[in-house]
Amino acid sequence: MSINWFPGHMNKATREIHDILPKVDLIIEVVDARLPYSSANPVIENFRADKPCLKLLSKSDLADPAVTAQWLEHLQQDPKVRALAITTQKPDPIRKLADTCKQMVNKKIDRATTITALITGIPNVGKSTLINTLAGRPVAKAGNEPAVTQRQQRIELGGGLILIDSPGILWPKIENAASGYRLALSGAIKATAMQEDDVALYAAEYFMQAYPELMKERFKLDTLPNEGVPMLETIGKQRGCLGRGGHVDFDRTAALLINEFRSGKLGQITLETPAMAEKEHVKVAEIRARKAKEKEERKKARKAAYKAKAKKNT
């Protein structure tokens, strides 16, 4: 599945993040607790340098608690990173984040001190809802669709903390195919930019492998099929997602499975572990190295052809 969704405002937002970073004391990156690796923007990691970073694993009520614990430990191996699992279902810890930010910034804190934090994250990760909870009032537009926030805004929270809210951004090329599926499954990418049946097939196969008991319980099955397509057929028949002639409507079935994951009806599910992420990170690095080599070879070939043509004309 190829995902191509990088609206113009994201390109602008990326440039603005690069420009504002020297002026901020701290970066707050909101990632999805169900996919902390795939929802972490490599652009932010490249821009961050040595600035402290608070990683907030949002929607943690929908994620597998045991895997979330693994992620918190893994992320905090970086001495400049502090990671916390949050959910808007429990707002009190969110309201205390201002104190956490002050503890992370390496400067003397007094009544006159102002801390500026850039808060960023992928689309539809719950960033705006988090900001409104932190502010105690509606200051950021929130919604269930990606790309609700489309311009940078400055929010004064009081207590010496200022937030620079950046629009949710992806990156131009999602090189890890598995990350693309996970982002699509989480709702970070608009439905028009993906094939839902492909996403649902990926989801069914992963759910059967990683969370077989949840699938059996949700769909009242004693055993699970061996592959994703038969699983989708089973779900479609059971839930009445049928078309003409009684055949399973895969589009409706796909939408049903995706929605049940997003709403948490399937149970607490995490789409990736730190071990999975480390392996995929190595593969992505290999892909980038190969592409860079191919680009350099094409450049040399063009240069050689130009020289040959110039020599022939003399």
246 is in an annotated binding site: no
Identity at 273, one-letter amino acid code:
T
Q: Is 240 annotated as a binding residue?
A: no
82, 104 Cβ separation under 8 angstroms: yes
What span, in angstroms and rounded, lies between the C-alpha atoms of 187 and 150?
A: 17
Task: Judge whether 4 is annotated as a binding position.
Answer: no
To which residue do tokens 């392996």 refer? 279
Asked whether the beta carbons of 221 and 213 are under 8 A apart, the reply is no
> Using an 8 Å Cβ cutoff, are 58 and 86 in contact?
yes
For tokens 């701290």, name the residue: 26
Side-chain half-sphere exposure of 77, counting CA atoms within 13 A: 6
126 is in an annotated binding site: yes
Q: Is 180 annotated as a binding residue?
A: no
Assign 242 to helix, strand or coil. strand
The reply, when asked if residue 124 is annotated as ligand binding, is yes
SS3 for 29?
strand
159 known ligand binder: no
Which residues share a beta bridge with 249? Answer: none
Write out the binding residues for GTP.
Answer: 124-129, 168
Q: What residues form the annotated binding site? A: 124-129, 168
